[in-house]
């Protein structure tokens, strides 16, 4: 026994002194963790008290660590990245199993690299930088909400109020830059963007802030997101108040630094509150619970005990409290799974040589991976709500309160959650319902905006920087009614210009602008190039007869269309005169043939149905043929004198008379139009005839019609002939395709209407085959485009738009005449349904009729009476002949013959009976 004990002691001392393990224990008496944050910061001051309270509560609960005492060694980073990094590295020289709370992004990045190598979990309740990824730093665990979700909430808030651009003011460090980068990504998902990024040094002075806000005030946009720390943030609000940037028209959205300051420092001084009136801010949402209420109720006592001063609890303090409990629950699971706390020298540091830095003193947590797994699988309810991590290492159900600073405090106007977006209902209530992110479900309470107004700010004003808008206008050489430059002057006039000026005059703010002609003045400019110059920033806008087409809307924004437009076909026409055979024109040849055939078919069907019972449809063959023809064509005038007596015949005749009525009415109307209305005829019947021909087509220079016809309809580009002026239109159309002209011109309807007001030899063939309009082009997400669209709608409603149209585009008497192209003849396609119904009625009636005849024939002429001695084929022929003979007989004769035959058979039967009696009598 003594030998065994000596061997055990020798093995223990060998392992203890070999450097392989410094401490081996399944459940040690003490577990050391580290804490690193700025004690004198808004977050750190609250977090220190909360962490101490959490350690006391964990150690006083025997059910958590089961006798093991949790000890935390907290160090002050003093808001200094270098000092914080040094303090963090010193933790690695001790037997620390986890580190809690780096606030600075820089410190978190450095210590995360060290923690990954030494396998020491790093739990942060304050470093919300979205760039701190658990993929890059597996041992970095964020126990608070990720700023990525906060920026998603701001983007959704901006989109909710229908703002498209904003200005971001931020601290120029990792925390600020990465947060704003994430905001830009989230805004892009909603077709919004940051128009100006204003960066401040971390140690910015009031003069620095003054210079920056002066530049911001000169910008057009008034939606400002402030992503800073409390010290710089308050300075920004103070300067903004001085520069009157906290007035009506501005929108300020602060990230959760402001809510943390308000929660922990309330009540703030009157001066501080006055400079933040109307500001919106986000606050990390924490669910109401008994644990949270209990911590809040004893908070004042804790602050006096720990810090000797009174400050309130904020959301970061709540998350710091839950972070300690997260470590405690993970350690308990770690020990239950057989984990032991042991440290080894980091071999790479030993090889490198520590020198004066004593890097060799750093040790690696041997079972750090197991503790990290237990942290990731932690699942309990803390003072902030459920503590559970998703696959990306973020807390589940991220949510924020949206608060509005009013008076001496603030009020909550709603919530944002990753589950269902913006809502006035708490996230805990929404989690029990199916997710619903429809626009109708997004709601917030009324906001008191800066300037003490409840009217939602427009978010944009014209910048007061003295710069004129450079507006490109096409320098047209044809159809100058729409836009033109007066020769020898800088004056631009025309229909489009008048519409733009009238819309600008309706805006609630002045806009300085100047028109810049675009084009060489020899031919109409390329409108696609003009739109591209707006998209590239060479022009601030483009005003003119610019069609709103798909390719252009991909790079710029257009206003509301101020005139309807669409491609039409212009073709030469000649007046059509009626001739001696005009009465045949209403129907096509096929229609005439089918109608005639149906007259004969219906007559024949009625004759068959009436032949056996109606004397008017009987007689010699010649008379019957005449009757069929007479009856058929007399129905055209409803003048048939033959009456129908059979039910089937009457049904067929009623349907046929209805068909005749429709055909007769249509013929009369078409013939009347042909003989009384002036008509124009053209060899071009419409777009289809142009597409399937090889004839050249004219288009206007600079029009989008060229690409449209090639890409949408597959028309060869070689067939398209560019024409510049109305005179070239007329000359090309008169020459025709055989004389180096064109068969037709395809252009937008407003141009064609102007052309037709001067030319009466041409006309529009068919109808519009595109539906679009003209609008003014602006860069993407331009607020001016939205305001001008509203102004254009106002012009339309008050009649000014029509008055401008009448001023420039009034037609002459030539084009005001009512001229129609020769309408197409009525063809079979318009009546095939009627013919189908009539044909089916005839077919069904004949089937029923012959079925009845066959049954009657079998009853009156049984098969037994046929000659059984004949061959099968001759018997069938005789039966077939007998059936048609039976059908040709008058029904009354058939019935009389049947009666006589029955009487004769009855007499023969009685004679046979008498003879039989005589034969058998004695």
pLDDT value at residue 155:
96
77 and 195 inside one domain: no
- The pLDDT value recorded for residue 460 is 83
Provide φ and ψ at 69, rounded to 5°. Answer: -95, 135
Q: Does 697 share its domain with 663? A: no
245 and 348 inside one domain: no
Say yes or no to pLDDT of 195 above 70.
Answer: yes
Residues 433 and 316 in one domain: no
Which CATH number fits the domain that encloses residue 304? 3.40.50.2300
Same domain, 556 and 631: no
Does 19 reside within a domain?
no
Report which of residues 81 and 112 the model is more confident about. Answer: 112
Kindly tell me if the per-residue pLDDT of 350 is higher than 60: no
Strand ranges (E), 354-483 = 363-365, 380-382, 385-387, 399-406, 409-417, 421-423, 469-474
Count of structural domains within the chain: 5
Least confident range from 665-669, 726-730, 745-749: namely: 665-669
**pLDDT at residue 771, rounded to an integer:** 82
Decide if 193 is inside a domain: yes
Token couple for 99: 């580190």
118 and 91 Cβ atoms separated by less than 8 Å: no
The token duo for 894 is: 């058939």
- Asked if residue 341 and residue 489 are part of one domain, the reply reads no
Supply the DSSP string of 226-252, one letter for each residue.
EE--HHHHHHHHHHHHHTT-SSTT-EE
Residue 832 lies inside a defined structural domain of this protein: no
Percent of the chain with pLDDT over 90: 35
Instruction: For residues 607 and 660, state if they share a domain.
Output: yes
With respect to residue 717, please indicate whether it lies within any of the assigned structural domains: yes
Res. 573: pLDDT tops 80:
no
In a domain, 487, yes or no: yes
The two three-digit tokens of residue 452, written as one number: 């003490």
3-state class (DSSP) for residue 173? coil
Query: Helix (H, G, I), strand (E, B), or coil: what is residue 192?
Result: coil
Which pLDDT score, from 0 to 100, does residue 50 have? 92
What is the rounded CA–CA span in Å between residue 899 and residue 889? Answer: 15
Whether 306 and 52 have beta carbons less than 8 Å apart is answered as: yes
Q: What per-residue string of b and e applies to 10-26 under the rule 16 or more CB within 10 Å gives b?
A: eeeeeeeeeeeeeeeee
**Residue 519 to residues 159, 442, 522, 525, 527, Cα–Cα distance (Å):** 39, 48, 8, 5, 10
Look at residues 676, 697, 725 and tell me which one is the last residue of a structural domain: 676
| 57: Cα separation from own chain's centroid | 51
Least confident of 309-323, 401-415, 422-436, 875-889: 875-889
For 842-860, what is the mean pLDDT? Answer: 78
Residue 821 has a pLDDT of 46
Are 669 and 547 contained in the same domain? no
Report if residue 741 sits inside a domain. yes
How would residue 58 be classed by pLDDT, with cut points 50, 70 and 90?
Answer: very high
| Single residue among 809, 833, 866 that ends a domain in this structure | 809
pLDDT digits (tens, 9 = 90+) for 5-52: 343 333 333 333 333 333 444 688 899 998 888 888 888 889 899 999
End-to-end CA distance of the chain, in Å? 147
Q: How far apart are CA 176 and CA 236, in angstroms?
A: 15
Residue 158 has pLDDT above 60, yes or no: yes
814 assigned to some structural domain:
no
C-alpha dihedral (606, 607, 613, 616), degrees to nearest 10: 110
In a domain, 456, yes or no: no
- pLDDT tops 60 at residue 553: yes
Cβ-contact 675, 578 below 8 angstroms: yes
* Pair 395, 144: CB distance under 8 Å: yes
Per-residue model confidence as pLDDT tens digits over 225-260: 999 999 999 999 999 999 999 999 999 999 999 999
Please give the pLDDT value at position 884: 57
Higher pLDDT: 911 or 340? It is 340
Instruction: State how far the Cα of 223 lies from the Cα of 158, in Å rounded to an integer.
Output: 9
- Largest Cα–Cα distance in the chain? 161
Domain CATH for 489:
3.40.190.10
Say if residue 369's pLDDT is above 70: yes
Q: Do 182 and 324 belong to one domain?
A: no
**Residue finishing a domain among 653, 676, 699:** 676
Q: What is the extent of the structural domain holding 119?
A: 30-140+292-383
Considering 629-633, 682-686, 715-719, the range whose residues carry the highest mean pLDDT is 715-719
Give the phi and the psi of residue 233 in degrees, each rounded to 5.
-60, -45
DSSP tag of 519: S
Alpha-carbon distance of 353 to 360, in angstroms, equals 7
Query: Where does the pLDDT of residue 482 fall: very low under 50, low under 70, confident under 90, or very high at 90 and above?
Result: very high
Is there a single domain that holds both residue 305 and residue 414? no
Same domain assignment for residues 305 and 281: no
Where is pLDDT greater, at 387 or 845? 387
**Are 309 and 193 in the same domain?**
no
- CATH value at residue 765: 3.40.190
Distance CA 613, CA 618 (A): 9
Residue 920 has pLDDT above 90, yes or no: no
214 or 813, greater pLDDT: 214
Q: Is the dihedral of CA 396, 398, 399, 400 positive or negative?
A: positive
* pLDDT the model gives residue 20: 39
Rounded distance between C-alpha atoms, residue 269 and residue 267, angstroms: 7
Tokens coding 85: 């990094």
What is the pLDDT, as a whole number, of residue 902? 58
Overall pTM > 0.75? no
CA atoms within 13 A of residue 197's CA, in its CB half-sphere: 14
């Amino acid at each position: 026994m003594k030998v065994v004990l000596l061997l055990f002691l020798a093995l223990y001392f060998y392992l203890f002194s070999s450097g392989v393990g410094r401490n081996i224990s399944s459940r040690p008496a003490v577990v050391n963790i580290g804490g690193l944050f700025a004690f004198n910061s808004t977050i750190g001051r609250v977090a220190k008290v909360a962490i101490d309270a959490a350690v006391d509560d964990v150690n006083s609960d025997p059910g958590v660590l089961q006798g093991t005492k949790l000890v935390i060694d907290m160090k002050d980073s003093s808001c200094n990245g270098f000092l914080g990094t040094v303090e963090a590295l010193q933790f690695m020289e001790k037997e620390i199993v986890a580190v809690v709370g780096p606030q600075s992004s820089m410190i978190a990045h450095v210590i995360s690299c060290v923690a990954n190598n030494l396998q020491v979990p790093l739990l942060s309740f304050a470093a919300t930088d979205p760039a701190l990824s658990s993929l890059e730093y597996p041992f970095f665990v964020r126990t608070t909400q990720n700023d990525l979700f906060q920026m998603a909430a701001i983007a959704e808030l901006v989109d909710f109020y229908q703002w498209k651009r904003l200005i971001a003011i931020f601290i120029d460090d990792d925390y600020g830059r990465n947060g704003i980068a994430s905001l830009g990504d989230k805004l892009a998902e909603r077709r919004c963007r940051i128009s100006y990024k204003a960066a401040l040094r971390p140690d910015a002075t009031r003069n620095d802030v003054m210079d920056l806000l002066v530049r911001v005030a000169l910008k057009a946009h008034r939606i400002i997101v402030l992503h800073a720390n409390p010290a710089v943030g308050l300075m920004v609000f103070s300067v903004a108040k001085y520069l009157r940037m906290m007035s009506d028209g501005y929108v300020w959205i602060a990230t959760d630094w402001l809510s943390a300051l308000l929660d922990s420092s309330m009540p703030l001084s009157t001066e501080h509150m006055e400079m933040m009136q109307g500001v919106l801010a986000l606050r990390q949402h924490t669910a109401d619970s008994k644990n949270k209420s209990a911590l809040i109720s004893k908070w004042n006592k804790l602050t006096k005990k720990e810090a000797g001063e009174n400050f309130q609890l904020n959301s970061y303090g709540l998350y710091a409290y839950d972070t300690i409990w997260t470590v405690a629950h993970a350690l308990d699971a770690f020990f239950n799974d057989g984990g032991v706390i042991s440290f080894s020298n980091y071999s790479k540091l030993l090889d490198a040589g520590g020198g004066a830095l004593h890097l060799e003193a750093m040790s690696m947590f041997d079972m750090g991976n197991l503790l990290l797994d237990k942290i990731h699988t932690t699942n309990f309810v803390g003072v902030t709500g459920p503590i559970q991590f998703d696959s990306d290492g973020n807390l589940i159900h991220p949510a924020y309160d949206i608060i509005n600073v009013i008076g001496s405090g603030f009020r909550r106007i709603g919530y944002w959650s990753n589950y269902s977006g913006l809502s006035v209902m708490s996230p805990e209530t929404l989690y029990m319902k199916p997710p619903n992110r429809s626009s109708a479900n997004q709601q917030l309470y009324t906001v008191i905006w800066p300037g003490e107004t409840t009217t939602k700010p427009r978010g944009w004003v014209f910048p007061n920087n003295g710069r004129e808008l450079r507006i490109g206008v096409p320098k047209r050489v044809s159809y100058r009614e729409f836009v033109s430059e007066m020769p020898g002057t800088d004056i631009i006039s025309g229909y489009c210009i008048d519409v733009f000026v009238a819309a600008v005059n309706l805006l609630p703010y002045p806009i300085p602008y100047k028109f810049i002609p675009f084009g060489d003045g020899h031919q109409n400019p390329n409108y696609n190039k003009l739109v591209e110059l707006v998209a590239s920033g060479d022009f601030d806008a483009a005003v003119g007869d610019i069609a709103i087409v798909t390719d252009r809307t991909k790079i710029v924004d257009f206003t509301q269309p101020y005139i309807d437009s669409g491609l039409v076909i212009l073709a030469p026409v000649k007046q059509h005169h009626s001739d001696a055979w005009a009465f045949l024109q209403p129907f096509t040849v096929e229609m005439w043939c089918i109608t005639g055939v149906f007259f004969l078919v219906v007559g024949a069907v009625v004759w068959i149905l009436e032949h056996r019972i109606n004397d008017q449809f009987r007689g010699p063959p010649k008379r019957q043929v005449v009757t069929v023809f007479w009856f058929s064509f007399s129905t055209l005038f409803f003048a048939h004198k033959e009456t129908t007596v059979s039910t089937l015949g009457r049904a067929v005749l009623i349907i046929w008379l209805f068909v005749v009525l429709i055909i007769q009415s249509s013929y009369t109307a078409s013939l009347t139009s042909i003989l009384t209305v002036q008509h124009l005829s053209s060899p071009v019947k419409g777009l289809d005839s142009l597409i399937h021909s090889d004839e050249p087509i004219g288009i206007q220079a600079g029009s989008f019609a060229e690409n449209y016809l090639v890409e949408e309809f597959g028309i060869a580009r070689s067939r398209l002939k560019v024409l510049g002026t109305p005179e070239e239109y007329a000359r090309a159309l008169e020459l025709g395709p055989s004389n180096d002209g064109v068969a037709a011109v395809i252009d937008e309807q407003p141009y064609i209407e102007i052309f037709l007001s001067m030319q009466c030899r041409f006309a529009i063939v068919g109808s519009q085959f595109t539906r679009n309009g003209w609008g003014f082009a602006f860069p993407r997400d331009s607020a001016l485009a939205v305001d001008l669209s509203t102004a254009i709608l106002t012009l339309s409603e008050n009649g000014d738009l029509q008055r401008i149209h009448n001023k420039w585009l009034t037609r002459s008497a030539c084009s005001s005449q009512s001229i129609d192209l020769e309408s197409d003849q009525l063809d079979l396609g318009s009546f095939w349904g009627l013919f189908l119904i009539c044909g089916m009625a005839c077919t069904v009636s004949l089937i029923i009729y012959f079925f009845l005849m066959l049954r009657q024939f079998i009853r009156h002429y049984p098969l037994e009476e046929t000659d059984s001695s004949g061959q099968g084929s001759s018997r069938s022929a005789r039966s077939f002949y007998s059936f048609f003979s039976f059908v040709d007989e008058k029904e009354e004769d058939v019935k009389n013959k049947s009666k006589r035959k029955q009487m004769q058979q009855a007499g023969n039967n009685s004679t046979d009976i008498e003879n039989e009696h005589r034969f058998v009598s004695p």
